Structure 1
């Protein structure tokens, strides 16, 4: 038997709230139950709550008749139908409904973080296309709040093109470019910047609403603030990176391009934003099973190391892209019939080769990639011996499959001289691989050593 009651409830947690809730339960149950010495047990669920001017309107209270043969006094936490609600009963009702509200808030925040994570992946993909098509230096001005509208008329395009002609990329690389060709690279960079602004809006509007209305648990306020700080730093780093490619290089043989250090920082910040948002969304959206297997506990800590290797390999890929190092040696597994190329230490002093010599940068990326793949596959083999829940096994299998796919994409990109579709897919694969590692980390989050009973 089901009854639904609608009505306003006083301030949440107040004494008046408990009195009105108790009297409502009592009146409804007395109408529903016609037995003199029997009482019905009812469990209440709050299906929808709305916070308006610090008051809570209880949209629906559902009372489910569970037993006619049991006395209410025999069931802990049941509502006393003969009189007013006791203090412990009121507290239990309040705690249950508070828990339900917290769960609803957590789900809402999870969707918010997941949306930001998806948009961050889109920004990484667009950034890869922008770099590979050499479109990043087409917009020579930066207007954080204005300048969203692109050139519309022929005169505006001519003016924008003349501005582009003042900088090294046109003078030394694109001196034969036409206005129509310029439009294609301009729109690519413009869309990348607009996407970044959209991420800022998608972050700021819900965050301001949730925080001012106090609709988020206190545990996620710091992550929200951290994400906002990272997004602001990312916008500044993006322009700082572009600015490095607009200066004249004293070396006449230098190719106009952005600094590989700033490109790495730009990608690194994007990956950090993605990691924070995806982790917060996943952590609040799912509840992993508790695991006491010793092998699973050991696997839990090793996966953190694998995730760090994945992140480091992705950053080394930014140096490969920044220096066009993927075009130096296009053979695998050897580099021009050598395991170690002869020009790895051509620069002086020697430490410049690590991050500035294209040959050394490609060699480092190869070594890091194979090390990461070996580590992930070794973890997969170790997981076969552990007693893991089904979802954790699926996550580990996905991570192993993704690392094999990522290595294959990297080799194909190298052998085919870095075509844009393959290179973008390879860069996106690094984010997918990082995602699977975070998934495994989440599934093993509650892996603990069993405490022996005394």
Structure 2
């Protein structure tokens, strides 16, 4: 009995396509592992950055020395010279007058460690990138994506110094605008790194997702980034140390409009009014939780990996909300605050994986 030529052609080409995809995935496995390592280091960088902020250490190093700054002060004279530089800025004169050298060394090590970690991420990214290029594991399209990530990393270093510089003159802390920008850019780099890494491995579950669910996933991701930016404003204004009750805020679910918009022009309240900034952070948290529930209810109809990711996102958002409430009620202790910041990176990572995989499930 003769076979249908079309059927034979489909049977013969399907294994070839699968084998080709498998070969590419195998070839790129070391690249994926390297990018996962970089992403983990960025998460650590975000957490250490949070500790630097919470310990008021960010202004302890008053100069930007990308190369020579890798070495800490060596010897008593060098430490004294660094301390004298710190004594010239408003934070010392207005907040830390009379600080001992030992106390200065404590905050210096936090900031030095934060900057050292940034330099290490640069080396861990650049050297393997060049090696993989030399070995031919990276094609032109992927190479441009990775070069873009490296450029963003360099920009992040410049933004970090731009942030620090805002606190060296006429202020005792850094600008909340610049702090929120610095944090958000770090999270954008983290998300982009994870997205590139995930895209290098074909998904196991290829069931199709409706277009509206992909749009929903992108909306959820955008709101996560917005919430991270708002969290940066809260940190920059120390807004978590005020209105430390929940669910009421200053005795209200929604504070009086006159208090929320007491400053003029009105837009300044969104960035500079402690009450408004914390209120917005709370409201967007509620919005995220509602979106996570809606996404899960929708995605479970598709089932498989799509439904599991939506359920994981719902669980992470719920846990993150609980951490945020505990951090507020306990007036921002270091351990809870850092756990809250770490939780934000987990939500962002899973939201990133979700939109990448939903985009592939067509």
TM-score by length of 1: 0.73
Within the candidate set 357, 362, 377, 2:293 is matched to 377
TM superposition shift of 1:444:
2.5
Runs of 4+ in 1 over 6 A off after TM superposition: 94-100
- Equivalent in the alignment of 2:13: none
The CA deviation string for residues 301-345 of structure 1, in whole angstroms up to 9 with x for no partner, is 211111111111011000000011111211111112123334222
Contact 2:159-2:182 within 8 A present in 1 as well: yes
Q: Distance in 2 between matches of 1:415 and 1:425?
A: 15
- Aligned pairs for 1:383-422 (under 5 A) are 383-384=299-300, 386-389=301-304, 391-422=305-336
Within the candidate set 273, 294, 308, 2:189 is matched to 273
Contact 2:263-2:273 within 8 A present in 1 as well: yes
TM superposition shift of 1:195:
0.1
Within the candidate set 29, 47, 52, 1:125 is matched to 47
- Equivalent in the alignment of 1:170: 92
TM superposition shift of 1:286:
4.3
* Secondary structure at 1:282 match in 2: helix
- 1:157 aligned onto 2:71: no
Contact 2:21-2:202 within 8 A present in 1 as well: no
Within the candidate set 301, 313, 316, 2:227 is matched to 313
Q: Distance in 2 between matches of 1:276 and 1:118?
A: 13
* Higher relative contact order (Cα pairs below 8 Å, separated by 6+ residues): 2
* Secondary structure at 2:250 match in 1: coil
More helix by share: 2
- Aligned pairs for 1:39-438 (under 5 A) are 102-249=24-171, 256-292=172-208, 294=210, 297-342=211-256, 343-384=259-300, 386-389=301-304, 391-438=305-352
Q: Distance in 1 between matches of 2:17 and 2:299?
A: 39
* Structure of larger gyration radius: 1
TM superposition shift of 1:101:
5.4
After the TM superposition, which of the residue ranges 344-353 and 439-448 deviates more from structure 2? 439-448
Within the candidate set 352, 355, 361, 1:441 is matched to 355
Contact 1:288-1:442 within 8 A present in 2 as well: no
Q: Distance in 2 between matches of 1:339 and 1:423?
A: 23
* Secondary structure at 2:161 match in 1: helix
TM superposition shift of 1:104:
3.1
TM superposition shift of 1:141:
1.1
Distance 1:291 1:103, change over 3 A: closer
TM superposition shift of 1:152:
2.7
* Secondary structure at 1:331 match in 2: coil
TM superposition shift of 1:436:
1.8
TM superposition shift of 1:265:
1.2
* Secondary structure at 1:407 match in 2: helix
Q: Distance in 2 between matches of 1:383 and 1:104?
A: 30
Distance 1:442 1:350, change over 3 A: closer
Q: Distance in 2 between matches of 1:198 and 1:148?
A: 10
Contact 2:25-2:200 within 8 A present in 1 as well: no
More strand by share: 1
TM superposition shift of 1:99:
6.3
TM-score by length of 2: 0.91
Distance 1:293 1:434, change over 3 A: closer
Distance 1:264 1:143, change over 3 A: same
Contact 1:268-1:315 within 8 A present in 2 as well: yes
Gaps of 5+ in 2: 1-7, 10-15
Q: Distance in 2 between matches of 1:113 and 1:298?
A: 30
How many pairs were matched up?
A: 350
- Aligned pairs for 1:18-57 (under 5 A) are none
Gaps of 5+ in 1: 1-75, 78-93, 250-255, 449-454
Report the aligned-residue RMSD. Answer: 2.4
Distance 1:361 1:95, change over 3 A: closer
Distance 1:400 1:98, change over 3 A: closer
Contact 1:289-1:446 within 8 A present in 2 as well: no
Contact 1:245-1:258 within 8 A present in 2 as well: yes
